[in-house]
Amino acid sequence: MKEALLSDDPVLPGEQWFCYWKTSAALWESRIRTLDTSKEISIPIYWGFHSEGPDKWDYGHYLAERDLARLIELLVQYRVKYRWLFPLTPCPLMPNGGIPVSAARTLSVGPKGIHLSSLNAQNSLHKMYSYFEPKVFSAFNSFLKSFKEFLKTTENKAKIVGQQYSFTEDGMLTSFLYDQSIAFEQGFGRYLKNHEIEELNDPAEELRLKNEFLKEVGDLFIQTAQTELDSLWGGEEEVSFLGASPKESIQRSLPSGKTSIGYFIDLFEHYLFARKVSSTLLRSEEKKGLLETVLNENFRTGNAWDKDDEWEGLCLFELYSPKPQDFFGQGLHQYLSSQFRWLYRFHNDDFKDTDSLKIVHSKYLDREHFTQVLKSFLLGKRVVIDKNGLDPELEKRLGIFYAENNLKLEPVRFQTQMTFTQLGDGKLLVYDGQGLNKDNYQVFWKKIFEVMGVTHLHTELSDDVFSLWKRRECSTDELNYLDVRRVSFYNPTSYKKNVKLQTQNKFAFMRMIDPQKATAKSFAQVIDVELLPQGRISLDFGHFEEMR
């Protein structure tokens, strides 16, 4: 029997993480031979666990559970694909946040002044210790050198992915690196001294410098790991833990606990920001039911946008801005949330050259991103740019771009000033967000998306019903379609809920999959779905008209 992905199992607590230190080394083999070899597992390195004293690291000589050579042998023997995860910040899954006892000097203090600590799935309280303590960096560096040398003696071929961990509280994302303890303040004092800043009287400047210091220290841990691990380095990624914030620790300790719907809201918020999540701290009774279903069906790797088998997350809109709030004043987020719920995602950094409609805020556009965005249009993609606040130099370059490519511009006056142009399949619309009528944004965005050729099934569902859309290429017996889209609905409430889908002459209902406490009835161009409490259902649609 293959291992369940999520179970009341400290060794495999979720998202295919394998926590070797959570069981006896004698039981590793029996666990590994039951793993699904088609799926890659991730092995977090609990580096503090390998400490035998300052600069002394053990890989099985003193304790069998530290014998990573044996673990690698078993993984190779049973042909299990794996990768290592190495914490670049305190990790709430590990005691002391993962650092050795000898370096655990000062408890981290979070944004609200409270020590950062998280309850794990076995109800242990893991306290985070400050990464700003000089001993932590020294131990971190020492471990990396030792670990690299150790791996050379093994059959290991797997990469090591650095992970930065975070939590959300009241919608705010905070890194577990964050700290305002005495260790941070002392480090910040040294930072000021090194930068020859003697007096700091402006609170705004102090805040800016503290954020800069925090980022520099975070980057230092990344660069050190990258340099030390060299060819073994597999890049870095960010992971948000569910249930890990100080508020959630209190909530999870109360008799009422944190509700399933609360986790759904958090999970889907992370989804919108394309963040990787980890449910590994949650107890089985917290996960059981629909939350476990949605995690198993969509978040096997932690990120539901990732391609899993043939299906990948369906994203109709990519929103680029340093802060999502930049779009709030224009009603874009509100409009997408009501008309295209969970069919868009926010980006603040890397530009992704996907087929989705890209909506770009001027604050995102530095020279590099500006070039990427225009190149994307030239390659036949659809781009909408808010030019309000655009750097005058870039605005000038935009004019040159129009002229150089001999583009025919169509000025449009609809609520605000806009310019529309086309080149092959590419569509570029530049508007001035400042002139938007905030009371009538629905009409504006509806028109924009019509012009840009966005079509999708119209879905009516209440706020507390959650849905995830995926797409896949057609199989040989589905050649009439351009692609196949699957929507899964989840009702975590205790009430019956109804959903209505309109196919709008562009989609054909194909089948329903795995209804649990749910039914779907198909009428001409309309599908009615009824979801009982804790109900779920998936529906497949063939898409038979080009979107653009």
Partner 1 sequence: MNLTLIYHFQSFQNEEGEFSPARYKVIYCFAGAGFLETQTLQKLALEIPEADPTELTFVTLDDLKRFALLVAEEFEEDEVRLISVQDFNIGIDGAKDISSFRQIFLGFGEVIRAQGASKKRKGILSRFFY
**Which residues bind to partner 1, rule: CB under 8 A?**
107, 109, 112-115, 117, 119, 123-125, 127, 202-208, 247, 249-256, 259, 262
Min dist. Cβ of residue 300 to partner 1 (A): 28
Give the H/E segment covering residue 165: strand 160-169
Cβ-contact 490, 264 below 8 angstroms: yes
Instruction: Return the amino acid letter for 415.
Output: Q
Cβ nearer to partner 1, comparing 16 with 120 = 120
Return the DSSP state at 109.
B
Cβ nearer to partner 1, comparing 68 with 119 = 119
What is the SS3 assignment for 114?
coil
Instruction: Return the amino acid letter for 302.
Output: G
Min dist. Cβ of residue 213 to partner 1 (A): 15
Min dist. Cβ of residue 475 to partner 1 (A): 45
493/476 Cα distance (integer angstroms): 39
Cβ-contact 522, 509 below 8 angstroms: yes
Question: Which residues, other chains included, contact 246 with Cβ-Cβ below 8 Å and sequence gap of 6+?
Answer: 110, 112, 114, 115, 116, 117, 169
Min dist. Cβ of residue 261 to partner 1 (A): 9
Min dist. Cβ of residue 285 to partner 1 (A): 13
> Token pair for residue 34?
């039951």
* Residue 333 backbone dihedrals phi, psi, to 5 degrees: -60, -45
Min dist. Cβ of residue 218 to partner 1 (A): 21
> Token pair for residue 183?
């260790």
Cβ nearer to partner 1, comparing 208 with 446 = 208
Min dist. Cβ of residue 105 to partner 1 (A): 13
Cβ nearer to partner 1, comparing 27 with 250 = 250
Cβ nearer to partner 1, comparing 170 with 404 = 170
Cβ nearer to partner 1, comparing 123 with 406 = 123
Cβ nearer to partner 1, comparing 250 with 513 = 250
493/209 Cα distance (integer angstroms): 45
Cβ nearer to partner 1, comparing 96 with 467 = 96
Return the residue matching tokens 């799935």.
121
352/153 Cα distance (integer angstroms): 39
Instruction: Report which of 545, 547, 367, 376 is spatially closest to residue 455, judged by C-alpha positions.
Output: 547
Min dist. Cβ of residue 104 to partner 1 (A): 12
Min dist. Cβ of residue 256 to partner 1 (A): 5
479/378 Cα distance (integer angstroms): 29
Cβ nearer to partner 1, comparing 107 with 384 = 107
In 1-63, beta strands by DSSP E: 41-44
Instruction: Report which of 57, 136, 146 is spatially closest to residue 91, judged by C-alpha positions.
Output: 136
Return the DSSP state at 532.
E
Min dist. Cβ of residue 254 to partner 1 (A): 6
Cβ-contact 509, 347 below 8 angstroms: no
Q: Measured on CA atoms in the order 148, 152, 158, 159, is the torsion positive or negative?
A: positive
Min dist. Cβ of residue 179 to partner 1 (A): 13
Cβ nearer to partner 1, comparing 124 with 138 = 124
Min dist. Cβ of residue 97 to partner 1 (A): 13
Neighbouring C-alpha atoms within 13 Å toward the C-beta of 504: 13
Q: Measured on CA atoms in the order 426, 427, 430, 436, is the torsion positive or negative?
A: negative
Give the H/E segment covering residue 486: strand 483-490
Cβ nearer to partner 1, comparing 23 with 259 = 259
Cβ nearer to partner 1, comparing 324 with 515 = 324
Min dist. Cβ of residue 328 to partner 1 (A): 15
Cβ nearer to partner 1, comparing 204 with 524 = 204
- Exposure letters 423-434 (e unless 16+ CB within 10 A, then b): eeebbbbbbbbe
Helix axes 290-298, 260-272, angle to 10 degrees: 20
Question: Which residues, other chains included, contact 413 with Cβ-Cβ below 8 Å and sequence gap of 6+?
Answer: none
* Residue 18 backbone dihedrals phi, psi, to 5 degrees: -115, 110
